[in-house]
Structure 1
Amino acid sequence: MAATTTQSLGSLPSGLDICVTAPDMLYLPELVTGGLVWILVASTHVEPPNPLGWVMFVSIFCFVMTLLWMLIFATGCHKSGSGWAAADFAYHAVATLFYLSAAVDLAYITFLMKLGQFRIYQIDIAAVVFAYMATLLYFIHTILSSLRWKHF
């Protein structure tokens, strides 16, 4: 365990090491929770549809960018240049702020729609829970990425 922590703070992993290093093992849970937010929000019908546009943008943007980010680290493309630790921190900080704003927006819309259909209300509550879980995962990843960046 000490070797994994030392490696995660001293260098950026590549290949299957992203599955065992401290901040990078959060990629898969981030993808799962973000994908669930995307699916749950897309499966409901809200009138007017505009309030959930930001939530859909955030969930799709963060899902695609996290997948690309994970693939960059898994393939080792980040070894060709410098600044990847700072970029990793910056991306996860932005994703945290995006998901926090989307989760608050989604919770507010869910609160306003509580007198509608109960099944849609339950789906919206599940989406709110997963949005806050994604926010927490991205926040933890941001903290761990900042520690890794500090040690570079």
Structure 2
Amino acid sequence: MASTTNSCPLPSGCKIFTKMPDLLFIPEFVAGGLVWTLVASTKVAFPNPQGWVMFVSIFCFVLTSIWLFSFLCSLNQKGSYWPTLDVAYHAIAAAFYLSAAVPQALVTISTNTSATQIRQLNIAAVVMAYVATLLYTIHTVFSAIRWKSS
């Protein structure tokens, strides 16, 4: 008799909000959205690497939205490649955020100390970029563990 159970280890629907690593979707949104907002609210001088920071934060925000939507709609149950894609996407996002946090820190260090509000926004953006890096890294590790155990 054929088994009717689903062999995909990924949760779908509202179940994604009940287990690690998928619980991290919401904090990833918050951290990424804050990086995007904080960098957008600072005065960008030319030349400045904050364009890369904006690209990374918007790119990851949009892709995480699509990824979350695919989990909510159970699209991740349609193939055996989804666990691999889950690990790959979160590893790429973690690497992107790390590559954005370092130039953001450089901009913050080189910001004139007389512009305290802009400096504080840049400091907050650096902190949130490193928080996003940490969240995506944790998500990658837990996704890899889930992928290996499936």
Counterparts of residues 2-151 of structure 1 (less than 5 Å): 11-48=9-46, 50-151=48-149
Q: CA deviation at 1:80?
A: 1.4
Provide the residue aligned with 2:3 in structure 1: none
Q: CA deviation at 1:50?
A: 3.7
Stretches of structure 2 that go unaligned for 5 or more consecutive residues are 1-7
Aligned equivalents of 1:48, 1:139: Cα separation in 2: 31
Aligned equivalents of 1:64, 1:127: Cα separation in 2: 18
Aligned equivalents of 1:96, 1:50: Cα separation in 2: 22
Alpha-carbon distance change, 116 to 98 in structure 1, aligned in 2, over 3 angstroms: farther
Q: CA deviation at 1:139?
A: 0.4
Stretches of structure 1 that go unaligned for 5 or more consecutive residues are 1-9
Matched residues, percent identical? 55
Q: CA deviation at 1:32?
A: 0.5
Aligned equivalents of 1:116, 1:84: Cα separation in 2: 50
Q: TM-score w.r.t. structure 1 length?
A: 0.91
Q: Structure 1 residue runs of 4+, over 3 Å off?
A: none
Q: TM-score w.r.t. structure 2 length?
A: 0.92
Letter in 2 for 1:140: I
Secondary structure, counterpart of 1:12 in structure 2: coil
Larger radius of gyration: 2
Aligned equivalents of 1:82, 1:103: Cα separation in 2: 33
Q: CA deviation at 1:49?
A: 5.2
C-alpha deviations, 1:45-87, integer Å up to 9, x for none?
Answer: 1211541010000000000001110110111011111200000
C-alpha deviations, 1:80-121, integer Å up to 9, x for none?
Answer: 112000000000000000000100110011001142410000
Aligned equivalents of 1:29, 1:116: Cα separation in 2: 33
Aligned equivalents of 1:116, 1:96: Cα separation in 2: 33
Q: How many residues align?
A: 143
Larger helix proportion of the pair: 1
Aligned equivalents of 2:84, 2:58: Cα separation in 1: 23
